[in-house]
Amino acid sequence: MSRRLRRRVSKKGKEKVVAHSYTEFEEEVSTSEQNGDVNWTCLPDDTVIQLFSCLNYRDRASLASTCKTWRCLSASPCLWNSLDLRAHKCDSAMASSLASRCRNLQKLRFRGAESADAIIFLQARNLRELSGDYCRKITDATLSVIAARHELLECLQLGPDFCERITSDAVKQIAFCCPNLTKLRLSGIRDVQGDAISALGKHCPHLTDVGFLDCLKVDELALGNVASLRFLSVAGTSNVKWGVVSHVWHKLPNLVGLDVSRTDVGPAAVSRLLISSQSLKVLCALNCPVLEGDANFTVPKIKGKSLLAHFTDIFEGIASLFADITSKGKTVFLDWRNSKKTHKSMDEMMSWFEWILSHSLLRSAENNPQGLDDFWLKQGAPLLLILMQSSQEDVQERAATGLATFVVIDDEHASIDRGRAEAVMRDGGIRLLLDLAKSWREGLQSEAAKAIANLSVNVNVAKAVAEEGGIDILASLARSMNRLVAEEAAGGLWNLSVGEEHKGAIAEAGGVKALVDLIFKWSSGGDGVLERAAGALANLAADDKCSMAVALAGGVHALVMLARNCKFEGVQEQAARALANLAAHGDSNGNNAAVGQEVGALEALVQLTRSPHEGVRQEAAGALWNLSFDDRNREAIASAGGVEALVALAQTCSNASPGLQERAAGALWGLSVSEANSVAIGREGGVAPLIALARSDAEDVHETAAGALWNLAFNPGNALRIVEEGGVPALVHLCSSSVSKMARFMAALALAYMFDGRMDEYALVGTSSESTSKIVSLDGSRRMALKHIEAFILMFSDRQAFTTAAASSAPAALAEVTEGARIQEAGHLRCSGAEIGRFISMLKNPSVLKACAAFALLQFTIPGGRHALHHAKLMQNAGAARVLRATAAAATAPLEAKIFARIVLRNLEHHQAESSKGI
Amino acid sequence: MSSSSSSSSPSCPKKMITLKSSDGETFEIEEIAALQSKTLESMIDENCASTPVPLPNITGKILAKVVEYCTKHAEVGADAESLRAWDAEFVSVDHPTLFDYILAANFLEIPTLLNLACQSVADMVKGKTPDEIHKIFNIKSTFTPEEEEELRRENQWAFD
């Protein structure tokens, strides 16, 4: 489809057009015309470089591969100032291939120990900043070599994962090798010893910013001697001797900012540091239990000094440090960023704030300690939003991750805190996140997408995301080649597709195709992304139109592939659920049949009903239930061992969730539509567990079980089994007291099949020595059953309406009876010719079964019922009209049977008239 | 709307400067709007903008749009959301126009417009293979097989 463009026509040479008043007309322009004869390769170099800078590395590589000019420009030093290798496989060969372009590399981000080993092969001797995460396995040797090869290094950060294998030896090496070091932030070192710290103090005269975060031990005394320090963080570090600290660190002559968040610092040390340090401006102590637990602690008020804690106003505290900024409170960060004046020391301090705050907030969000609700709503959420606008990419990422994390209050059930989510939305967070998601930086994309995904659990946020164009953005991120980005985007689409509102928009944005493609792209080794994609497709498949789109995009094949091959339970569950939903649209589309025709689909689903994971069993049974609506699928499921598997499932689900119980019973109900399957179910021992499920208090469970028992009871052998297994009292109970009319109805019909005489013949034929006692006990059961069937019929028979109908043959009177008797959902039931035939014979039964049969046929033929026409035809073929007329006219028949029979006759006439009209 | 006067007092009439396109059209633009162009800013600072400023490599068609862009972005109090929509509409144009926007923004040094136009081109490239990019930009590959192999080695890292 081509875009509609507004294009002005102007012919060269004869224009005298006044600005803003030229004529315009709309014109469809095809793509080839659009391309025109522009020679894009002659764009000025600067602009091409700018174009490159808008793209991620993959797209840059593609663009560079198109022509010589652009290849050459793609190697421009300014595009190789900084490099983020986190998403890329980085080994020595790869690093060597980049070496020629990394000569002037200033900034490098990497991930993991293997990449760390490869860094030296980049030969980036001018590297100034190095930052790595997932560094648990980095060794002293690696870090020492890195330090030795990058003498100009000014900034080194490893974390937030703990650098468990790094010791003070490597820190010493860094001190010896990198004299220009100004910033060193390391996480999770066991013991930072005094000699290493002293070496830093001695060899790195410019070292102003040190962070030993989440370490087990640091030498406080030695830190007190690093006179160059301006900023120091020991956040999360344990075993700090605060007595030593408060008597030593205040002597650090240049110390401006100190971060002691997440430590056991107490009021005494805090007060002393604030009061006695000459230079200290800010002491940050977020999430310090001892300090927060002291009700008597009052913050020392000293001009020009601030304490930042959960119980202080952080924005005010920071704002008060600015002498020349008039703004107060929340705008301080924005005012600082927009301020044209540069003030180096202030800039350093604000950047440091951003960094330590993003760290502490993320940690707090992860641990989610009690009692922070108020803090998050008033300060935490606004701070995270401000930090997302930082110029430091890692701060932005952490803030987005923080947003994704702090709203989640229960991981297990994926529930989020509504107040927090709406606070983010209120402060413009959705727009900010979507902007980050559009960035070319994949680290930002994935974290922003994760936050959008989590927030979208809230319906109001989901609505805002959709309104701000978020669905398009997520759909395009789902196509990302970066697995983490695609995974979070798929998660977003999963959450957005929960309600009905956004399904159409997701399909329109190409989301369905993107999700299906994801499954093929990551079919091996991407459990997280596969689960989310399948989950989203499952939600989408619940919608009729979207389910067509899923099938069209190749979704059936993709999902069956997952159900067959994937070993991860989360994926199996979602794939089965998706297949269940695809097959849930009955005759309205061909997906049900399509799933069954996919090679191995039914076998895989049957296999999944044996999964150790309850969710997987439930969804697989649900899928088989829905699929069994198709005749061919039903028989194929049976030949794939479905009967045995589902009977086994029903036998073992007595303590399972109602969802599983319902689907197990439902699948057996579906299969039992054919008598051969019914017999097999009975033979396999399916009757007893179904009776047990029929005793369930859960409406959905006992209703479904009643349906299955009704089908089973058609077969006399099964009917006898139901009696023997104690099914009569269970069905009688359902028939008289279920809250579900359908359950009552189907229980009554099951009892009717059991006691219309066929079972007795069967019981007699299978004569054994016990046959007499059997028949005796059958008599008792029959009396009980018939009594309750009668009571059931009476529940649906309004006396007054009957009297009126008996007195007059006016259609209105009959209509009133129909209205009183009608069971809405019964319109969905579809009977075979044999079943209809059985009800017709039942009309001749002298007992209450006559009325019951007429009642059933009435339900099955009410005009407007989904299968009413089908039933009417079957009845015509069976010559039902004659029997019905006889019933209606019989002097001895009960009034209900006569009136119901008259209504059925009218229904038949109606259908006959309709179908002849149709011809 | 260039006739709005809410932002300046009546005693101080708006300063206008005149721009002249390569094909001889002239356009008036408020000085405050023109300042978004670093090129024009330095001309104004050096008092070279009191007479019509000739812009020999920008056609009237493009200059009209650039003036419109600068005027829109100099408006006081426009909310970010509607400006974003306006920008999106502004770059929904055919390739030749987009190309000319980039040239004009580059020459006049209007960073926001250059960024907007480049981003729009970048959006066309995103996720595309080199072959697809060839088609989009109507360019032919001129690499020898050896160079192709070199390219592959050079760029392999980005695809892993």
Match 């239990």 to its residue by tokens: A289
In sequence order, the β-bridge partners of residue A820 are: none
Length of chain B: 160
How far from the centroid of its chain's Cα atoms is residue A822's Cα?
40
Token pair of A163, please?
């650098």
Match 């590589």 to its residue by tokens: A61
Token pair of A277, please?
């340090």
CA distance A676 to A834: 13
**Which residues does chain B have within 8 Å of residue A427's beta carbon, measured at their own beta carbons?**
none
Interchain contact B91–A (C-beta under 8 A): no
Interchain contact B106–A (C-beta under 8 A): yes
Token pair of A648, please?
């086994």
Closest CA to A440 of A474, A466, A471, A477: A477
CA distance A418 to A398: 21
Interchain contact B3–A (C-beta under 8 A): no
For the CA atoms of A908, A909, A911, A914, what is the dihedral angle to 10 degrees?
180
Instruction: Give the strand order in the sheet containing A306-308.
Output: A82-84, A107-111, A129-133, A155-158, A183-187, A209-213, A231-233, A257-259, A282-284, A306-308
Burial class (CB in 10 A: 0-12, 13-18, 19+), A420: buried
Burial class (CB in 10 A: 0-12, 13-18, 19+), B80: exposed
Nearest residue in B to A63, CA atom: B130
State the smallest CA–CA distance between residue B10 and chain A in angstroms.
Answer: 25
CA distance A168 to A200: 11
Quote helix, strand, coil % in chain B, to nearest 5.
Answer: 55, 10, 35
Interchain contact B86–A (C-beta under 8 A): no
Could you list the mean pLDDT of each consecutive 10-residue stretch along chain A, which spans 919 residues? 28 32 37 65 94 95 94 95 93 94 96 95 97 95 97 96 95 97 97 96 97 96 96 96 94 96 95 94 95 89 90 90 70 82 86 96 90 92 95 95 91 83 93 93 94 94 94 95 94 94 95 96 88 96 93 95 94 96 84 90 96 96 94 94 96 94 96 94 96 95 96 94 93 94 96 88 61 65 92 87 80 86 90 93 90 94 91 93 90 86 93 78
**Which residues does chain A have within 8 Å of residue B136's beta carbon, measured at their own beta carbons?**
35
Relative to beta strand A155-158, strand A183-187 is: parallel
Token pair of A835, please?
């079943």
- Which residues, other chains included, contact A646 with Cβ-Cβ below 8 Å and sequence gap of 6+? A609, A621, A624, A664, A667, A668, A671, A686
CA distance B23 to A892: 105
Residue in A34, A47, A480 nearest the CB of B114? A47
Give the Å distances, CA to CA, from A315 to A303, A308, A331, A357. 16, 9, 8, 12
Flag if A5 and B94 touch (Cβ within 8 Å).
yes
Decide if A567 contacts A524 (C-beta within 8 A). no
Could you list the mean pLDDT of each consecutive 10-residue stretch along chain B, which spans 160 residues? 43 80 94 94 89 93 96 89 92 95 96 96 93 91 91 91
Decide if A6 contacts A26 (C-beta within 8 A). yes
Burial class (CB in 10 A: 0-12, 13-18, 19+), A459: middle
**Which residues does chain B have within 8 Å of residue A99's beta carbon, measured at their own beta carbons?**
none
A to B CB pairs, distance under 8 Å = 140
What residue type is assigned to position A88 of the chain?
H
Helix (H) or strand (E) holding A222: helix A220-223
**Which residues does chain B have within 8 Å of residue A38's beta carbon, measured at their own beta carbons?**
95-96, 99, 137-138
Flag if A57 and B158 touch (Cβ within 8 Å).
yes
Interchain contact B12–A (C-beta under 8 A): no
Token pair of A445, please?
């994309």
CA distance A454 to A464: 13
Distance between the two ends of chain B, CA-based, in angstroms?
A: 51
Give the Å distances, CA to CA, from A48 to A54, A100, A584. 10, 21, 52
**Which residues does chain B have within 8 Å of residue A481's beta carbon, measured at their own beta carbons?**
127, 159
Flag if A35 and B106 touch (Cβ within 8 Å).
no
Closest CA to A557 of A569, A565, A545, A568: A565
Decide if A430 contacts A424 (C-beta within 8 A). yes
Decide if A233 contacts A259 (C-beta within 8 A). yes
In whole angstroms, how large is the CA radius of gyration of chain A? 38
pTM for the model: 0.85
- Amino acid A810: pLDDT: 77
Q: Pick the residue of A16, A24, A31, A65 with the most B CBs within 10 A to test the interface with B by mutation.
A: A65
Flag if A17 and B157 touch (Cβ within 8 Å).
no
- Which residues, other chains included, contact A705 with Cβ-Cβ below 8 Å and sequence gap of 6+? A665, A669, A690, A691, A693, A694, A696
**Which residues does chain B have within 8 Å of residue A40's beta carbon, measured at their own beta carbons?**
95, 99, 137-139
- Amino acid A586: pLDDT: 75
ipTM for this prediction: 0.93
The CB-based long-range contact list for A492-496 (8 Å cut-off, 24+ gap) reads A492/A449, A492/A452, A492/A453, A492/A456, A492/A465, A493/A532, A493/A536, A494/A453, A494/A532, A494/A533, A494/A535, A494/A536, A494/A539, A495/A453, A495/A454, A495/A456, A495/A457, A495/A462, A496/A456, A496/A462, A496/A465, A496/A466, A496/A470, A496/A471
Token pair of A766, please?
């299978």
State the smallest CA–CA distance between residue B67 and chain A in angstroms.
Answer: 9
Q: In this structure, what DSSP letter does residue B66 have?
A: H
Residue in A7, A35, A88 nearest the CB of B158? A88
Per-position DSSP letters for A819-866, written without gaps between them: HHH--GGGGG----HHHHHHHHHHTT-SSTHHHHHHHHHHHHH-TT-T
**Which residues does chain B have within 8 Å of residue A3's beta carbon, measured at their own beta carbons?**
92
Per-position DSSP letters for A384-416, written without gaps between them: HHHHHT-S-HHHHHHHHHHHHHHTEEETTTTEE
What residue type is assigned to position A160 of the chain?
P
CA distance B123 to A452: 21
CA distance A713 to A842: 15
CA distance A863 to A851: 20
Closest CA to A698 of A741, A657, A649: A657
State the smallest CA–CA distance between residue A415 and chain B in angstroms.
Answer: 31
Residue in B81, B94, B129 nearest the CB of A36? B94
> What totals of helices (H) and strands (E) does chain B contain, helices first?
8, 3
Closest CA to A88 of A476, A442, A389: A442
**Torsion sign across C-alpha atoms B127, B128, B130, B136:** negative
Name the 3-class secondary structure at B155.
helix
- Amino acid A199: pLDDT: 97
CA distance A138 to A162: 10
CA distance A220 to A224: 6
CA distance A303 to A325: 16
**Torsion sign across C-alpha atoms A315, A320, A321, A324:** positive
Neighbours of B89 (CB within 10 A): 10
Flag if B125 and A62 touch (Cβ within 8 Å).
yes
State the smallest CA–CA distance between residue B132 and chain A in angstroms.
Answer: 9
Flag if A67 and B142 touch (Cβ within 8 Å).
yes
CA distance A480 to A486: 5
- Amino acid A409: pLDDT: 83
Flag if A62 and B139 touch (Cβ within 8 Å).
no
Helix (H) or strand (E) holding A368: none
Half-sphere exposure for A326 (CA within 13 Å, toward CB): 0
Q: Would you tell me the crossing angle of helices B95-108 and B111-125 to the nearest 10 degrees?
A: 150
- Which residues, other chains included, contact A4 with Cβ-Cβ below 8 Å and sequence gap of 6+? A26, A28
CA distance A187 to A218: 12
Closest CA to A899 of A811, A825, A830: A811
Closest CA to A451 of A375, A500, A521, A399: A399
Whether omega before A846 lies within 30 degrees of 0, making that bond cis, reads no
